Structure 1
Amino acid sequence: MSRIKRLMAMCLIAGLSAAPALQADDTIRSEHAQKTLEIYRTIVEVDTSKRMGNTTKVATYLAGELVAAGFPPEDIEVPMTGEFASLVARYRGNGSTDKKPILFLGHMDVVEALADDWERPPFQLTEDGTNFYARGTIDNKFGVSQLTSTFIRLKKEGFVPDRDLYLVFSGDEESGMSTTRMLAYERPDLAEAEYALNSDAGGGVLDAEGNAVAYRIQAAEKTYATWEMTVRNPGGHSSRPRQDNAIYDLADAIKAVQAYQFPVQWSEMTLEYFQHTGEQLGGELGDAMVAFAYDPQDEAAAARLAQEPSYVGTTRTTCVVTMLQAGHAENALPQSATATVNCRIFPGVGVAAVEDTLREVVDNEAVELTMLADPTESPMSELRSDVVAAVGKAVHRRYPDVKLIAYMESGGTDGMHFRNAGIPTWAVSGVFMNPDEMFAHGLNERVPIKAFYDGLDHWSVIIRELTTP
């Protein structure tokens, strides 16, 4: 039995005797629920996308809430990195042990949202009886609000941990990660942490009928890398078309990228993830997961998983065109055309190798390929029994029989930089939802109202388990 399986089995057994969760009505009426919703609504309704900024506004608001709850002002910071704010809040321990601090991660910024494209206003928290809707409802203001309100709740209850705890919220995770790099590499106090728990990934998986399939602990993530593909041309008058055209040539390159699939890859962790998830999910998709887990060279199973946006990233490196820019006038031939290609690279695959593959796929020396920023390749964080047990206790209060599964994130989070800084990091969000209903970064982002209220005790259970002598 692998180490991951042993740890998961321990946590499952421990959770079977856990007390049932509070009834939803009691939870919704609680002071903690009202404060969490207040914080959630306030920060969701601030546009913290890169073009608007506003992370300073959110960070300052959260800082004020923490101070009002009894945290000393000197323990709350709003450091700036260029135009972006971060939040660092220290919850002082009693010094009864020599254990190092724990970091709790989240990010206050969001991806842009064009109001004209949304069915609902993207920066107003609305609901329909089933879901909360707005940009950031799941990514990641769900985690930020739940963590902040948990710190407030514990402080008001007089809880004193046996070590220091830190809220560490970045301000540009969705763009340059300059605040993340500062927090991970330039803060000696945070560098002393024993490990970090991230609210920006992980969490429970529900099937289409709302049944709990698994709880995922994010222990690794793919490398995030972006290139620009550019074609240049002398251009000319639109009434005199040329055989070579920057837009047409770029379109050929884009279609080549679209048609190419990177080879299937796997690790012990991803195979265990597909085995457990597939067994619970069942049906055609579940059968494909199980088949892939037993034989990752099963081409039919891999092809079936490649059809699923929620799972294809766990099976291979992916590259996709996300932005276009071309031409300068409607009556002129384009002098340049550029496409942005975002890649999520399977751990162990070098960034340079992916660039070489893109060049081969495009097969046109006239297409310039320029990397944007410096990619970060991060290691896997091996699971540890105390963290798995604490998370399991929180999860099993809601779903006593659900299995905890380590997995690799197909996207990228702040966790990559903290792992590279030598701080083991696991993402353990309190949300349970159908991944196909998430729409993070997309239109009409949402989170189930039930998931919001059911997750209110998630972080307090974990913190008490890990920091009570």
Structure 2
Amino acid sequence: MRGTAICSVALAVAMALGTPAALAGQTPRPDGAELAFRDLYRDMVETDTSAATGDCNALVLKIAERFRNAGFAENQITLFRDEAYQLDGGIVVLMAGNSAKAKPMLLLGHLDVANANPRHWKRDPFKLVERDGSFFGRGTADMKALDAIWVDTLLRFKAEGLKPKRTIKLALTCGQELSARANGTEWLARHRPELLEAEFALGEGGGGLTDGHGKVVTQSIAIGEMTMANFDVETFSAGGPSAIPNYDNAISKMIDALQKVRAYRFPLHLNVTTRRYFAQAGVARGDAMGAAMVRIAADPKDSAAEAIVSSDPTYDPMLRTTCLTTLIQGGYIVTAIPQTAKATINCYIVPGETAEETRDALYSAIGDPKVIMSRVGRAAPPPLPPVHDPRVLRPAEKLVASYYPGVQLVPAISLIATDAAYLAPLGIPAFGVPGLYADPDGNEVHGHNEHLQVQSLMTARGFLHDLVKVYAMQE
């Protein structure tokens, strides 16, 4: 039996990689379907959809044309946009189910990406480059990889002649990134909720983590997420000529305030999901970090374990609310004492805490009643509470075991705030899917060298195709 099990695992790996040659350490040659997928992924990455210089609507039209060419009818494709924002288009594609009992499922993704200044990149951020086993470019990881997989999955279902029991809905929207002008998921929820209505949604927020050397050590499915809030901090002074220095000026006050924000650590706040994650993922790691994870799950007051877990930049934000200064401006002329300064603090708030509590904690840490602090930006509704749905979790567990041998699927809280929050008023629970994996550095998402491992993308493509198919055939 043991030999049979090993052979079964080897066969599953070979199927996931696309050819038995992968088992011999050779790079498998892409087949026609994979080449088509690569072309789709390239088209997505190389279409600039950043808020500063891009056009989501241009990519939407390209995606719609792919569906039309595959035989999808016009009544299966809905293009939409807020007319006040001509460049922020989105698309919803429907594949009808044949069961009156099975409720729809929703595949959700955002097409917009973080801004990218070519001056700061080693290469053109909007050209897909494959090098040293990774894809490089803006959006390669966040989140055009998953977008491409969603589109590819429906195109493959069409080619396979699949007759799903559930209706499958795909919604690709614009406006998730902070600097965007409008949010497409929010717009759909308000104006076209019937296009989103589903028993559950699948989107970003889950995924795997490597040990930094290519070995996948965990895969998680997100069953809850952080809430994002942004706060402006403003300071003021009388001004005057800089030749007569005033060291208590607006910028000096801002420096004092931000040093206190940097030094402040929110209290540890674990919940049932995060404690379970650390307990299970810690055992799977089997190293000193894993042992500390197990210890803090058992006893959150274990300060030594907390110090070890906090030293990892991926695990630290699972322990508590985090806030970081991301924008700053001040002064108006080089020879004048600055009269005003302003900084923006970006916070990710753990479930169970509120934006108001976070603001109050920061304001208390600053300790200066003359500092003005206010919430800014879009305020998303609170996500639905985490849901442990065995009809969602069990198929994912089985496929993770098949595609990622030796890796356990662990429910987790997403470290990011996603568009799934806008599904909460519609009563739609959302799950961040496993599959795609990253290194502990987060693959430099939103940075100047964003990348994604080629194997991560190709394996996740097969994994998520099979996972969506299982859900689609449920009744």
CA positional deviation for 1:398:
1.6
CA positional deviation for 1:16:
7.3
CA positional deviation for 1:191:
4.6
- 118, 135, 138: which is aligned to 1:115? 118
The answer for the alignment partner of 2:173 in structure 1 is 170
The one-letter amino acid paired with 1:196 is A
SS, match of residue 37 in structure 1? helix
**C-alpha separation between the residues in 2 aligned to 1:32 and 1:298?**
51
Deviations 1:380-433 (A, max 9, x none): 231211211222343233223321111011221111221343101101043133
Q: CA RMSD in A?
A: 2.0
SS, match of residue 229 in structure 1? strand
Instruction: Return the TM-score normalized by structure 2.
Output: 0.91
Q: 1:101 to 1:202 in 2, by over 3 A?
A: same
Larger deviation, residues 168-177 vs 287-296 = 168-177
4+ residue segments displaced more than 6 Å: 15-18
**C-alpha separation between the residues in 2 aligned to 1:379 and 1:18?**
39
The answer for the alignment partner of 2:67 in structure 1 is 66
The one-letter amino acid paired with 2:199 is E
The answer for the alignment partner of 2:342 in structure 1 is 338
- 260, 266, 270: which is aligned to 2:274? 270
| Preserved CA contact (<8 Å) 1:318 1:344 | yes
SS, match of residue 273 in structure 1? helix
Deviations 1:144-176 (A, max 9, x none): 011101111111111121121111112011125
CA positional deviation for 1:104:
0.1
CA positional deviation for 1:55:
0.5
The one-letter amino acid paired with 1:51 is A
The answer for the alignment partner of 1:4 in structure 2 is none
The answer for the alignment partner of 1:427 in structure 2 is 432
The answer for the alignment partner of 1:159 in structure 2 is 162
In percent, how many aligned pairs have the same letter? 32
**C-alpha separation between the residues in 2 aligned to 1:357 and 1:300?**
25
| Preserved CA contact (<8 Å) 1:381 1:419 | no
The answer for the alignment partner of 1:22 in structure 2 is 15
CA positional deviation for 1:351:
1.5
| Preserved CA contact (<8 Å) 1:205 1:213 | yes
- 403, 412, 415: which is aligned to 2:408? 403
SS, match of residue 22 in structure 1? helix
CA positional deviation for 1:185:
3.7
CA positional deviation for 1:464:
1.8
SS, match of residue 34 in structure 1? helix
Q: Which has the higher contact order (CA 8 A, sep 6+)?
A: 1
The one-letter amino acid paired with 1:66 is F
| Preserved CA contact (<8 Å) 2:314 2:440 | yes
The answer for the alignment partner of 1:308 in structure 2 is 312
**C-alpha separation between the residues in 2 aligned to 1:269 and 1:89?**
33
**C-alpha separation between the residues in 1 aligned to 2:430 and 2:225?**
11
**C-alpha separation between the residues in 2 aligned to 1:363 and 1:28?**
61
**C-alpha separation between the residues in 2 aligned to 1:174 and 1:18?**
40
1:216-231 equivalent positions in 2, closer than 5 A = 216-231=220-235
CA positional deviation for 1:452:
1.5
**C-alpha separation between the residues in 2 aligned to 1:109 and 1:148?**
16
Instruction: Return the TM-score normalized by structure 1.
Output: 0.92
Q: Structure 1: any 5+ residue segments left out of the alignment?
A: 1-14
Q: Does 1:186 align with 2:191?
A: yes
**C-alpha separation between the residues in 1 aligned to 2:449 and 2:434?**
20
CA positional deviation for 1:23:
6.4
Larger deviation, residues 314-323 vs 44-53 = 44-53
CA positional deviation for 1:451:
1.2
The answer for the alignment partner of 1:416 in structure 2 is 421
**C-alpha separation between the residues in 2 aligned to 1:464 and 1:25?**
18
**C-alpha separation between the residues in 2 aligned to 1:67 and 1:428?**
27
CA positional deviation for 1:103:
0.4
CA positional deviation for 1:201:
2.0
**C-alpha separation between the residues in 1 aligned to 2:47 and 2:322?**
32
The answer for the alignment partner of 1:353 in structure 2 is 357
The answer for the alignment partner of 2:133 in structure 1 is 130
Deviations 1:3-51 (A, max 9, x none): xxxxxxxxxxxx9799444264647522321121111111101221111
| Preserved CA contact (<8 Å) 2:49 2:112 | yes
Count of aligned residue pairs for this structure pair: 453
The answer for the alignment partner of 2:299 in structure 1 is 295
Q: 1:147 to 1:162 in 2, by over 3 A?
A: same
1:87-106 equivalent positions in 2, closer than 5 A = 87-94=91-98, 96-106=99-109
| Preserved CA contact (<8 Å) 2:241 2:335 | yes
| Preserved CA contact (<8 Å) 2:106 2:196 | no
CA positional deviation for 1:436:
2.3
CA positional deviation for 1:453:
1.5
The answer for the alignment partner of 1:48 in structure 2 is 49
Larger deviation, residues 452-461 vs 244-253 = 452-461
**C-alpha separation between the residues in 1 aligned to 2:438 and 2:197?**
34
The one-letter amino acid paired with 1:347 is P
The answer for the alignment partner of 2:22 in structure 1 is none
